[in-house]
Amino acid sequence: MKHIDTTCLIDDDRIFIFAAKRILKATNFCNNFTIYNNGAEALTGLRDIIKSGNNIPDLILLDLNMPIMDGWQFLDEFVKIENSKKTTLYIVSSSIDPADSEKAKQYEQITDFIVKPITKDALTEIVNTINTK
Amino acid sequence: MKELYNQLFQKHKTEDNTSLTYMDSLQRDIAIGSWEVNLQTDTVIWSAMTKTIHEVEQDYQPNVKEGVNFFLEGYNRDLISLLFARAVNDQQSYDREFQLKTAKNNIKWVRIVAYPVIEDNKTKKVIGVLQDITEKNNTLNELKLKEELIRTTFEHAPNGMALVSLSGEIITLNKTFCDYLGYTTEELIGCKINKLSHPGDIDIIPANIKNLIDGVSDKFECEKRYIKKDGSYINCILSISILRNENNQPIHFISHLIDITERKVAHKEVETLLTTTKSQNEKLLNFAHIVSHNLRSHSGNLEMLLDIMKTDLPECTENEFFPLIEEAVNNLSETISNLNEVSIINSKESKDLKAVNLLKTTHTALANFKASIIATDAKINISIDSNIYVLVIPAYLDSILFNLISNSIKYKRPDATPVINISAQQTTDFIKITVSDNGLGIDLDLHKNKIFGLYKTFHKHQEARGLGLYITKNQVEAMNGKINVSSKPNEGTTFTIHLKHEAH
């Protein structure tokens, strides 16, 4: 299994973060997590990481509906960051609005669109995708 | 007239051929013919023009009886008989207008002047002239009719009309105009029309009036308020045109008024209603969004937490609460996903309609039920022309047929082999699809209003969710169609769906 240093979770939902961390840990996929509660926080945090010369997280799970700066606004800024293509990014959202999944297809950076609730199977799928990359 | 007659008739009598022709042509030119009834010899003489007016051949030999019979039966014939008898018996001359029917069956107006010729106190002859006045009378009558028409139109027009002098006084006006403003005719005649104007609108008129007088325009229209006698005001559409004489000099204005107060009020009501509907629709969309996103995320979290609990703390699944909580969470998630289905239907627009072959779609829908058809021994009769295409959102038609067929099988009578008839007919505007069964049926007297309702179930069936017909109705309506049901308990149910076809 390919080793993943850090997974970045961008979501304002505490319960989701708790559960996602738990499941990811259970699969022995990754033990380090960077958590941001909205797009703006994530953008600042990720910029700081790059500035300090550290590696950008290998996997980002991005929620869409968040306060202050939502997922789409975050993406529009994030794609401008150098090295942004080095990470694997998934949208993980409760939205079943077809407009959202259509929009997701327009971003090269988005690997896939996962509808919540996230299950163990879905996470295993993500892990497999990254491993075959 | 007598002199004229004498001239005409005396010459006629001379039997001088040249004069006769001359007199005849003269008679023809003025459309006057002459005639004579000789009472002694009982003979009648008509001049050439008289014959022409009667449209008889020139060799026609008139007599008294036939002459009278040319007059229209009834009033005309009775009157000429009476007047002629008076001329003979009382030696009274007459000059009257009559209507006669010519030999060619044309109705003509004629003026007849008659004089008795008296010798020895006895009437020997009655002589006279006959003038064709049809054209004159027709013109007069037409004019009268037109006048009547204009007068009636003016008086009884559903809109207010007034004749206004160039200086702005009302010359005459109709009842509607008075009714609009609550005045009597007498109160308004002679009144300055701009005194009735709403003070705020008084400036509209002058410039436009000048254009009318100068001939820049011949009509102008505006919206304007008028003050009623009781002080309230009405909204009107005012249209003013100008009447000119033969020298193109303006004589007066014709003002035409339409009261649109009610229309304005109605318009406002419609606008308010529209705004309300719009905002309600927005609220509904917001609600759909709340359902779609917020509720989903909560129920999703619950599912996720239970999932983790199961793996991390397997011992807790043995707790008697666990399966109950799990069931509650699953039900919650299902309800939310049902609500989502419904809210998505309502936000779809009819522009996504596609022409779909109904027979093919029906067969595809039936393919889903292969197993249950065999298990229940159901008999399916399809009577759909292979050329019928319906204009639908394909997924909706699939779902509608699926739901109806599924209901027919699900709610079969335990004691009868299910028979399902699916048929379609094309009408000018719609394709009428009928799905009928011999199943349990629904008591419509009890459930009429609820049958297409959300979460309404009518039978104890383990799979009854009370969602199918609600979604079906919503889908049919989203495609601009309609759905009806007729049913009798223990006999069966028939659903009739009207959908647009390709041409519409």
Q: How far apart are CA B465 and CA B130, in angstroms?
A: 98
Q: How confident is the model at residue B346 (pLDDT cuts 50, 70, 90)?
A: low
Asked if residue B128 and residue B162 are part of one domain, the reply reads: no
pLDDT value at B243 more than 60: yes
CATH number of the domain where residue B405 is located: 3.30.565.10
Whether A94 sits inside 8 A of B293 (CB atoms) is: yes
Would residue B148 count as lying in a domain?
no
Please, which residues bridge with residue B191 across strands? none
Segments forming the whole domain that contains residue A21: 6-99+107-116
Asked if residue B480 and residue B382 are part of one domain, the reply reads: yes
Nearest chain A Cα distance for residue B312, angstroms: 9
Lateral strand order in the sheet of B32-38: B43-46, B32-38, B122-132, B107-119, B94-101
What's the confidence (pLDDT) of residue B351?
Answer: 62
Segments forming the whole domain that contains residue B164: 157-259
CB-count exposure of residue B41 (10 Å: 0-12, 13-18, 19+)? exposed
Nearest chain A Cα distance for residue B295, angstroms: 9
Alpha helices in B31-133 (DSSP H): 48-54, 64-69, 75-89
Nearest to B159 by CA among B235, B259, B228: B259
pLDDT value at B292 more than 70: no
Would residue B414 count as lying in a domain?
yes
Would residue A122 count as lying in a domain?
no
Please, which residues bridge with residue B484 across strands? B496
In chain A, the number of structural domains is 1
Asked if residue B246 and residue B171 are part of one domain, the reply reads: yes
State the pTM of this model. Answer: 0.47
Would residue B486 count as lying in a domain?
yes
In chain B, the number of structural domains is 4
Asked if residue B123 and residue B41 are part of one domain, the reply reads: yes
Q: Which of A22, A97, A119 is nearest residue B292 as measured by Cβ atoms?
A: A97
Would residue A62 count as lying in a domain?
yes
Would residue A16 count as lying in a domain?
yes
Would residue B103 count as lying in a domain?
yes
Whether A120 sits inside 8 A of B312 (CB atoms) is: no
Would residue B73 count as lying in a domain?
yes
- ipTM passes above 0.85: no
Asked if residue B215 and residue B175 are part of one domain, the reply reads: yes
Lowest model confidence (mean pLDDT) among A111-125, B76-90, B221-235, B423-437: A111-125
Would residue B138 count as lying in a domain?
no
Selected residue with higher pLDDT from B96 and B344: B96
Asked if residue B51 and residue B174 are part of one domain, the reply reads: no
Give the tokens for residue B296. Answer: 């989903």
Asked if residue B242 and residue B168 are part of one domain, the reply reads: yes
Written as one string, the DSSP assignment of B252-298 is EEEEEEEE-HHHHHHHHHHHHHHHHHHHHHHHHHHHHHIIIIIIHHH
What's the confidence (pLDDT) of residue B115?
Answer: 92
Contact B122, B88 (CB under 8 A): no
Would residue A132 count as lying in a domain?
no
- Phi/psi for B484 (5° steps) reads -130, 160
Mutate to test the interface with B, among A14, A63, A70, A96 (most CBs of B within 10 A): A96
* DSSP-derived 3-state class of residue B305: helix
Written as one string, the DSSP assignment of B354-386 is EEEEHHHHHHHHHHTTHHHHHHHT-EEEEE--T
Contact A109, A89 (CB under 8 A): yes
Q: Which of A23, A97, A116 is nearest residue B300 as measured by Cβ atoms?
A: A116
What's the confidence (pLDDT) of residue B286?
Answer: 73
Lateral strand order in the sheet of B250-259: B170-173, B160-165, B250-259, B233-244, B219-227
Q: Give the residue from B291, B326, B347 where a domain finishes.
A: B347
Would residue A34 count as lying in a domain?
yes
CATH number of the domain where residue B237 is located: 3.30.450.20
Chain A residues closer than 8 Å to B312 by CB:
22, 26
Q: How confident is the model at residue B94 (pLDDT cuts 50, 70, 90)?
A: very high
Would residue A14 count as lying in a domain?
yes
Q: Give the residue from B259, B280, B311 where a domain finishes.
A: B259
Asked if residue B377 and residue B292 are part of one domain, the reply reads: no
Q: Provide mean pLDDT across the span B147-151.
A: 86
CATH number of the domain where residue A21 is located: 3.40.50.2300
Would residue A10 count as lying in a domain?
yes
Selected residue with higher pLDDT from B292 and B209: B209
Size of interface A-B (CB pairs under 8 A): 50
Whether B307 sits inside 8 A of A96 (CB atoms) is: no
Asked if residue B243 and residue B201 are part of one domain, the reply reads: yes
Taking CA atoms, what residue in B is nearest to A18? Answer: B305
The predicted-structure confidence for B11-47, as pLDDT tens digits, reads as follows: 445 444 555 566 677 776 677 899 999 988 889 999 9
Whether B292 sits inside 8 A of A96 (CB atoms) is: yes
Whether A119 sits inside 8 A of B304 (CB atoms) is: yes
pLDDT value at A103 more than 80: yes
Directed axis angle between helix A14-26 and helix B296-312, to 10°?
30
Give the tokens for residue B486. Answer: 């007729």
The whole-chain average pLDDT of chain A stands at: 84
Give the tokens for residue B256. Answer: 């035409």
What's the confidence (pLDDT) of residue B504?
Answer: 46
What's the confidence (pLDDT) of residue B478?
Answer: 83
Asked if residue B166 and residue B109 are part of one domain, the reply reads: no
Contact B202, B226 (CB under 8 A): no
Taking CA atoms, what residue in B is nearest to A16? Answer: B301
Would residue A130 count as lying in a domain?
no
What's the confidence (pLDDT) of residue A2?
Answer: 55
B70-84, B309-323, B326-340, range with greatest mean pLDDT:
B70-84
Asked if residue B401 and residue B290 are part of one domain, the reply reads: no
Q: Strands, DSSP E only, in B371-439?
A: 379-383, 389-392, 419-426, 430-437
Residue percentage of chain B with pLDDT more than 90: 25
The predicted-structure confidence for B267-279, as pLDDT tens digits, reads as follows: 888 989 888 888 8
Q: Provide mean pLDDT across the span B288-309.
A: 82
Q: How confident is the model at residue B503 (pLDDT cuts 50, 70, 90)?
A: low
Identify how many contiguous H helices and E strands chain A contains and give both numbers.
5, 5
